[in-house]
Structure 1
Amino acid sequence: MANHPHQSQMAYKPDPLRITTMNCRGLNIPERRSHLLRELTSKRVSIAFLQETHFKEGHAPPLKSKHYPTAALSNHPTARKAGVAVLTHAQLQFQEVERLVDPNGRYLFIKGDIQNRRYTLATIYATNNNQSHFIRKSLSNLSSFTEGTLIVGGDINVPLIPLIDSSTGHSSITQGAI
């Protein structure tokens, strides 16, 4: 079988990035973690932004598989609430350079390289009240941290169209703040 004349000159072309963001509503139960990892694998997710992991600092269970060998976490310091995580697929070969972790488990920003290009990955889980203040502060921190291409996922707890996006049909946040 003859080689194609341009075959040796073809550059490696990676799969497109597949990104998801999920509010997990707690991952302390092993079956929930297993289900999540199977779902991410079956959907061939490259980067997963997770919110509401409910891990307590120092007591986080393993959140990894052969496809997602590492997980970057930001956990609540004293309780099983809040918590965010970023999982990257092994084939992505993400090389972390630096991270910024919220002490209350509400955001996680990670700088790193994918195929010699710098990316900043950010996951945010906003508080249920005083969202505009939290988001302003978090985005200010993110702005000074960001380098390269920024990819953000999260749960900002703000109904953008309250009539559709909230169970009550209205929001406690003013339309101007939204």
Structure 2
Amino acid sequence: EHAPGIVSINLSGINHPTKRKRILSFLKSHQVHVAMLQETHLTQLEHDKLRRDWVEQCFYSSFSSKARGVAILIHKNLPFQCLSQVMDPAGRFVVVHGRWGAKPITFASMYAPNIDDPLVLQNFFLQLAKFPSPWVIGGDFNCPLITVIGRFSPVQVTQTLMAKTILASVKEYSLVDFWRHLHSTAREYS
């Protein structure tokens, strides 16, 4: 049995039907089994439209058609059974706990504010901590965690309160940033 494709993408809005169709086709063609989406900019009704073709389950938190919104899409062939979920009313995160076959798993999609607001992240990790691990978290946390690797130049950056909250949670819950682990010296996504 091969490992399923899991992806996290900030979409910058998919409320246009053509863009929504393109994204779903892209995910299908890349054999994605779990898609954690941020900045969907979809209403509740529009999020329901994501359930089609290869997507059997769609868990989401809506805010408006102009801002925020997160979703987790589950492929129809993935043996996932949802046992419980938490949706942020502000459209910042959704956490879904269930069984993948016989094994427990928790998926979370997070879209953090682009201002230094650590309370949003603290609330996210408090909600997540209610569920057993393993956790698979996808998101746009809108802050650099590493203070010396810049995207375009190695500039020293002041660490935000949000970054400190994330790093403390990474340590407290023994989390691993797989992308950073595999690309420790890359300047992208820093």
Q: Structure 1 length as normaliser, TM-score?
A: 0.80
C-alpha change, 1:174 and 1:69, in structure 2 (3 Å) is: closer
For the pair 1:69 / 2:56, whether they are aligned, the reply is yes
Q: 2:12 aligns with which of 16, 22, 25?
A: 25
1:98-177 alignment to 2 at 5 Å?
98-144=84-130, 146-161=131-146, 164-165=150-151, 170=157, 173=160, 177=164
Moved more, 122-131 or 84-93: 122-131
Cα separation, partners in 2 of 1:47 and 1:31, compared to 1, 3 Å = same
1:80 aligns to 2:66 (yes or no):
yes
Larger Rg: 1
Identity of paired residues, percent?
28
Cα distance per residue 1:10-49 (max 9 Å; x no partner): xxxx320211000001011011111111111111111100
* 1:49-91 Cα distance to aligned partner (Å, 9 max, x none): 0000001345546113321133111001x55310000001111
Rounded Cα–Cα distance in structure 2 between residues aligned with 1:72 and 1:134: 20
Which amino acid is the alignment partner of residue 153 of structure 1?
Answer: G
Change (3 A) 1:176 1:66: closer
- The residue identity in structure 1 corresponding to 2:137 is V
Deviation for aligned residue 1:164: 1.4
Contact 2:97–2:104 (CA under 8 A) maintained in structure 1: yes
CA RMSD of aligned residues (A): 2.4
SS across alignment from 1:153: strand
Structure 2 counterpart SS, 1:85:
strand
Residue correspondences, number: 162
Note closer, same or farther for the CA distance 1:118–1:175 as it changes in structure 2 (3 Å cut).
Answer: closer
